[in-house]
Chains A and B, each alone.
Chain A
Amino acid sequence: MAVNNCLKYLGNGSFLVVFVFISFFTNAQDSIVAEKPDTLPPMSRYEQRATLQAINLREDNFSSIPTRYAENKAYVSAQQIIKGLLPGTYIQEPSGEPGTDQHIFVNGIGAPLLSKKDLYNQQAVVFINGVPMQQDHPFAYELQKNEDVRMGTGTNPLAIFNIENIESVEVIKDPVRLSMLGPLASNGAIWIITKNAKPGNSNITVNLHSGLVTVPEVMPVNAAFEYNFREPFYAKFNPSGTTLMPSFLRDSTNVDYYGPANWYQSYYKSTFTYGADASLTGGSDRANFRLFLSGLKDANSADNTSLKKYNAGFFITVLPVKWLVFNSMINYTRLERARNRSIGERIMEQRYIPDITNPLTPNRSLYDKYLDEFDKSVDDNINSSLQTAFNATALLRQLTLKASFALNYDESARDAFWPTTLLEGNNFVSAYLGINQRVLFSSSASYKFLLSNDQSLTVGLNQSFTNDFQRLKYAYGYNGPNDFIKINLFAPNTTEGKFVTYYFPAKQQMAVASFFGNAGYEYRDLLRISAVVRRDGASSMQPNNRWFTGYSAGVDYNLGHQLNLDGTKLSVLASYARVGIPILDDRYSTGPVYTSYIGWPQEPTLGTYIGVPAIARPYTTGWIGYDIPWAYYNKLNLGVRLGLFNENLTLGADLYNRDNKNGMILMPVASEWGYTGEYKSGLAVNNKGIDLMLTANILGSSSPVKWTFNGNISFNQNKLKALPGGVESVEMSNTKLEIGKPVDAFWVYENAGVYSSDSEVPVNPSNGRALTFQGIQLKAGDPKWVDQNGDYNINEDDKVLKGNYMPKQFGGFGSIVQYGKLSLDFQFFFALGRYAMNQYASNRLDFVNNDYTKNLNAVKEITYWERKEDLSAYAQYNPWSDVIAYRNDQDLFVQKASFLKLRSMTLAYDLNSKNFLKKFNMFRIYLTGTNLLTFTPFKGDDPELTTYNGIYNGRALPLPRTVTFGVKLDF
């Protein structure tokens, strides 16, 4: 399939012709070259990089990280590598489970994150050697009853990186450079350049490491604790109600629940990680290569979770003639994830909520029996990811020509089987296959005009075409013949000894074509002016709005040089861009549509009536009209780059103002047309902020101790500027968007204590009626919610926007201290001015409604028996009240979730010297600790473990504290 598609595109493009042509001549050339060997002047680093990348971009040291800060930490994903190190870039790591999704935001969010779809649409894109990596598509969520975990393997597609194979990582935020990357990079880009083939004697590096993942300190509790927690509520509000307590609490002689709470010994077990990687680089000036191999296992001590990764990369550079460079990359990664065994994720996949009134027991022996049942289960999650790229660059004096072809192909496969013992006597099987494929062609020509001795003008023409294809196939079935047949022999009914099946295919396709011209004017090394004009077309846009014109311009002025400052570098930059943001979903491209969705959120896959396929307007997802324009962003950036004391102190500052405009959002319409809403364009969100970056060599060069300090801090503030149709505010299901307010706020009632008696409830003097909550009379034991509009009825009009789930300040800092061969480095990561919605506390306190409700929020995991927070600190409300006293949406549960973390500390020692192990360029041993310390005012366990939109539910696995020992060789 993939190959077919690939060939199809190859046939279409003229690329193949060019490539074959070139290969032919290269062969002929070789014989000539052999007769007259010529020595090439070594290429500069800039030139090397230029030939490697699909698009040439200038480097900016002020937004890149020295990779050594991320080395020797056994990080497995791109997000973990850059976390806290890149200015303006905020990483969410919502769970410590190895290989699960993490999120990258550059300079804030351009739209509210109302759903996973919005989250996907706000992610920065990662480029490998100039080729944008494809993300998973959120369409899978439409087949799910719940958005918590994506169907399929749920593996982080960016977990394919290994820092040992990375040359540099940079965040692209500068408008001009970003505009060159086009619409796919509209949320910012993470620019990763891999280590590449290099000429020279064969060079081998080897890195071996192994780590111990420690068991976190937890406070296990049993049913007596829960009983004692609930008892005061019963005593105060429902004295006779203890008989209605759920059965696991009622009987205090039941040792299963009231016995020892030693479950944690089976749930948390210290475990090992290991990894090995090696590279071989070498070859002649005209043909050289790099081979990289690695294998590792990352693990968490909680719930026996791990990620295994096998990676092979091969890079070749060939110069058939000295002005022509071929680069190729083939990189393959296989990821195997051992997932958690939580009940919630399992029953979410099963789409069947069994009786959940009684939780698992805190007793270890019973819990072990439960875990033993997983021996009969199958839970394979395998991702295979292939990145290939070919570049041909011709350096013809002032003319540079480039042609690139890239193919990314990801396949994720999941097979699951759970035996009858785990689901009320029913077994379950499912199979998932997901395919993401991206084909990219690009070509460019640029010419440098030398206008005079100190002026030059470079003009470039570029073209690129990207085709994305995404597909999933998912089938599941219940009640196979027994627990031994674990494969999916599907049939319409069980009589043939097979599973009854439900099958869902889904597909998305998208193509983006771009053309752009860029020009750069340079005056000595004093002034540089650059400009880009581009035109982008996307298949997901409607035909009459298919193309968008973007542009950018920037100035870079070397003030230090102008003022002849000695030992000081100072330059100022300003740039501005407008670039289109395409819709990343193909169903908006044709205007009004029909879908087969006639079910409801609990039954999202019902698409037939009496078995006959049905079709209807998309009432549940929303009306799609005509004339949907491109969304776009305008970004202005002002920067200062300062280097003092011969660059022993460098400081970079970027002040930005970004307006995302014409965003599309589902706006409510009158219910009488049947729609949940109408997709309308006109959302405008402003992000302002400052990104600061600092590096300093603190001790002088004469000192035997070298101390390098690095730090970055980013300030970000978003604000809603406009809504479609010019309205002032709009209420969504759980939130409200209001012009002038941040888009990431929580929409909540304000708490002001508790009514201790009925007489305390204020009475409306005009009609003598007491204060109500949505029409329900408030009573003693109900919370005092502030009646904002003074109408003596608390309803959604009295909710206010509070807090924000994106941090206002974030960044990281650390140091490398070196003394001879011994070095110590540590890195802190912080996010400040951030809030979380403590759903965990709300759920525990609202036990009355949660004990008997059949939904995923009410599922009691084994960690129900872990005390994560002191709940007695909350005001005591009547949990039986019809007003739902412990409802989520009140500011009681909007809590400060700022944190500062000591993320890593590494001690390294170089054993090699002139006399000892002298064959080695490097022989380093190191000891690293990760996730070491957390400082936070947050009430729950770890404030970082919230969902993308700031909900802390206490279900995430803790970030593992790992101590790793490693050896690194280079010879």
Chain B
Amino acid sequence: MLSHLLRYTLTLSVASMLVLGFSGCNKKLNLVPTSVVSQANQWKSLEDARSGVMGMYGLLRTALAEGNNYWLWGEFRKGQFQSVSRTDLKAVIDNNLKASYPLVQNATDWRRFYAAINSCNVLIENLEKCLADQRYTQAYYDLDIAQARALRAFTYFLMVRIWGDVPLITTSGEGNNFEQFSRTSEAHVLSFAKAELEDVAKDLPFIYSGEDLEFKFPTNYYDQGSGFWLNAPFTRLAAYAILAHISAWQGSYLDVATYTDFVINNASKANVYISTTDNLVGPQGLFAGGFDNYRQLVAFPFIKDRGETTIDGHIENLTLANTTAFAMSKQLPDVYVPKERITSLFSEANDQRFSINNTVSPPQYRTAYFENFNAEIPVFKKIRVIDGGQFSGGKFAVFNSSIVFTRLEEIKLLRAEALAVLGNTAQSLMILAEIRAQRGLSLIVVPNKESLLAAIYTERSRELMGEGWQWFDMIRFNKLLGFDPQLTTWTKNGGIYWPVAQDVLKRNPKITQTEFWK
């Protein structure tokens, strides 16, 4: 009897399980992934907008940092540095840019720049949805869109400097099946970038979360004070500084003069000042992010306290090594500036950055830029922010230096350059003197415009060493002075650009290799 009841119950249960299983299962299969955010769940709130904005900056930082590319492009190619024993770096230094080293191949791939551009485009197309969140006001929206457009323009400028003609893409392209575009002319891309920046510059504040006389910016940008943001998001000065550089690359020095004038006159509004030499090279100085450091006018920081310590993505990774003054376990650097070059470049006495005092025996040399000068291979230590710059030794070789695109000294030298070109020698000389004085150098006398430009060029080489300007300065000044016939030819035939990576060419047959590198 009981057995029958049991039998009956069991049959019923299994049957009901089968039926229940069918009906209830679809719901159980709706699991929300936790490692990603779906399209439907992004762009709903203030926080979503904030993450999106940080994503753009972060991706551009990645584009510059990966493989230490920023310095391969701007500093090492035919620059002052020599490779100690790495063959791949030697290939870059020798302009052997088709060499098959992974390092070189990686540096010729522009995909990461386009990731940053795409993230700007995605943000521009979607950000409106965040306005649904009451906290996300129109002021936020306008500012974030302005940043996205400025960042996109800047990215295009960086790319043009490296590759010349690059495809100009201003949509996210989502849903369009990854359409293939061909290269847009350099002039067109630059004028796009310039127009964009001119358009949005006024929509960027001098300081984020700072005093707002125009009453148009969010008061406490994403709930952080100005001391938190510093100059990490693009400010109005950043936009004009970039505009000045685009103009210089185009050769429109009149514009350069205008834009640099704006930056210099308004620098104090953004707490941007010139650094002393000590401050420039200090472990918590200009190159360290955070620390109330507003002096990085356009820069991409890696802040230790905020968990952004890395090994790759810093020139320190290549230039630093053990010195008598600073112990590190790496015995020799990957790249170094040979002694003869140091002495010929820093030939003036009392240069705080580097100079030799021969009046005492043994001769003493200043160590702001270089250590181990007496050894065969000196160490370039201008930028040395190791492990947050909080330790006196470098036993833990992880780095926090920011990638600094420009600072006030650089903008002033650019202004001096523009004024010199425009014939305003006196004012140009005055600015040059100001920078020189800051580094302990005396006044100079120049007989003509050419020697003034040469002096400015030399000063840039010294002041901006290791900051990724060497190669681009050389091109610009060679256009003005013509000191290197080979470079003049390359300027004409596209040899100044980098080849386009094989991988890029393969993925999009509409992209053609730069003529020079065919």
Give chain A's interface residues, CB within 8 Å of chain B: 12-15, 17-18, 21-22, 25, 28-29, 32, 139, 244, 247, 321, 323-324, 351-355, 357, 394, 396, 399, 401-403, 424-426, 443-445, 461, 463, 465, 467, 478-479, 492-493, 502, 506-511, 513, 515, 537-539, 543, 546, 586-587, 589-596, 598-603, 606, 608-620, 623, 668-676, 678, 731, 773-776, 795-796, 848-849, 851-853, 880, 882-884, 887
Contact = CB atoms under 8 A, between A and B. Distances in A.
Residue among A543, A594, A884 having the largest count of chain B Cβ atoms under 10 Å:
A594
B446 interface: no
29 contacts: A14-B13, A25-B2, A324-B10, A351-B311, A357-B331, A396-B7, A401-B10, A513-B29, A539-B28, A586-B35, A594-B37, A598-B55, A602-B312, A608-B306, A608-B308, A610-B57, A610-B301, A615-B54, A617-B115, A620-B115, A668-B506, A672-B114, A673-B169, A674-B111, A773-B100, A849-B88, A852-B86, A853-B88, A884-B100
Contact of B98 (A543, A598, A774): A774
Contacts of A673: 114, 118, 169, 173, 178
Contact of A139 (B29, B35, B85, B116): B35
B25 A851 contact: no
Contacts of B33: 508-509, 586-587, 589-590, 593
A586 B396 contact: no
B26 A546 contact: yes
A420 to B, nearest CB: 9
Given A590-B40, A612-B50, A614-B58, A774 B329 contact: no
A426 B34 CA distance: 34
A548 B213 CA distance: 62
A538 B29 contact: yes
Nearest to A501: B307
A599 B67 CA distance: 12
Given A445-B14, A589-B33, A671-B503, A493 B305 contact: yes
B106 to A, nearest CB: 10
Given A14-B16, A323-B7, 16 more contacts: A22-B10, A445-B18, A509-B31, A511-B29, A513-B28, A515-B22, A543-B30, A546-B26, A586-B35, A587-B33, A610-B228, A614-B55, A617-B119, A674-B59, A675-B118, A796-B502
Nearest to A589: B33
Given A399-B11, A671-B114, A675-B115, A587 B395 contact: no
Contacts of B26: 513, 537, 546
A681 to B, nearest CB: 14
Contacts of B51: 596, 612-615
A537 B25 contact: yes
Contacts of B228: 610
B56 A616 contact: yes
A29 B2 contact: yes
Contacts of A593: 33, 36-39
Interface string B100-115: 1100000001111011
Contacts of A795: 502
Contacts of B100: 773-774, 776, 882-884, 887
Nearest to A394: B10
B25 to A, nearest CB: 4
A433 B517 CA distance: 51
Identify the 3 closest CB pairs spanning chains A and B, nearest first.
Answer: A611-B306, A674-B115, A616-B55
B42 interface: yes
Interface in B367-390: 387
Contacts of B331: 247, 355, 357
A591 B39 contact: yes
A674 B112 contact: yes
Contact of A603 (B52, B96, B313): B313
Contacts of A601: 66
B43 to A, nearest CB: 9
Contacts of B334: 852
Interface string B56-89: 1111011001110000000000000000111110
Given A669-B507, A674-B115, A774-B502, A594 B6 contact: no
Contact of A507 (B34, B61, B85, B101): B34
A23 to B, nearest CB: 11
A606 B37 CA distance: 17
A794 to B, nearest CB: 10
B411 to A, nearest CB: 22
A670 B62 contact: no
Contact of A672 (B28, B31, B62, B169): B169
Contacts of A543: 30
B66 A426 contact: no
A590 B180 CA distance: 26
B91 interface: yes
Contact of A586 (B31, B222, B330): B31
A329 B375 CA distance: 72
B363 interface: no
B167 interface: yes
Contacts of B503: 668, 671
A424 B514 CA distance: 45
Given A616-B58, A880-B87, A606 B310 contact: yes
Contact of A401 (B14, B67, B511): B14
A15 B101 CA distance: 61
Given A443-B18, A619-B118, A672-B167, A776 B99 contact: yes
B185 to A, nearest CB: 15
Contacts of B24: 12
Contacts of A538: 29
A92 B13 CA distance: 45
A508 B32 CA distance: 10
B300 to A, nearest CB: 8
Contacts of B465: none
Given A608-B58, A795-B502, A461 B114 contact: no
Given A492-B305, A513-B25, A672-B508, A678 B178 contact: yes
Nearest to B52: A615
Given A598-B55, A612-B222, A546 B39 contact: no
Contacts of B164: none
A543 B307 CA distance: 37
B395 A18 contact: no
B396 A610 contact: no
B398 interface: yes
A603 B308 CA distance: 10
Contact of A611 (B9, B96, B308, B508): B308
Contact of A670 (B10, B112, B180, B312): B180
B307 A611 contact: yes
A463 B11 CA distance: 14
B21 interface: yes
Contact of B18 (A463, A774, A882): A463
A610 B232 contact: yes
B312 A600 contact: yes
A670 B179 contact: yes
Contacts of A394: 7, 10
A14 B12 CA distance: 11
B181 interface: yes
Nearest to B69: A600
Interface string B212-246: 00000000001000001100100000000000000
A602 to B, nearest CB: 4
Contact of A539 (B14, B30, B36): B30
B340 interface: no
A727 to B, nearest CB: 12
A508 B35 contact: yes
A623 B40 CA distance: 16
Contacts of B289: 610
A18 B308 CA distance: 54
B193 interface: no
B3 A29 contact: yes
A175 B240 CA distance: 69
B34 A509 contact: yes
Contacts of A674: 59, 111-112, 114-119
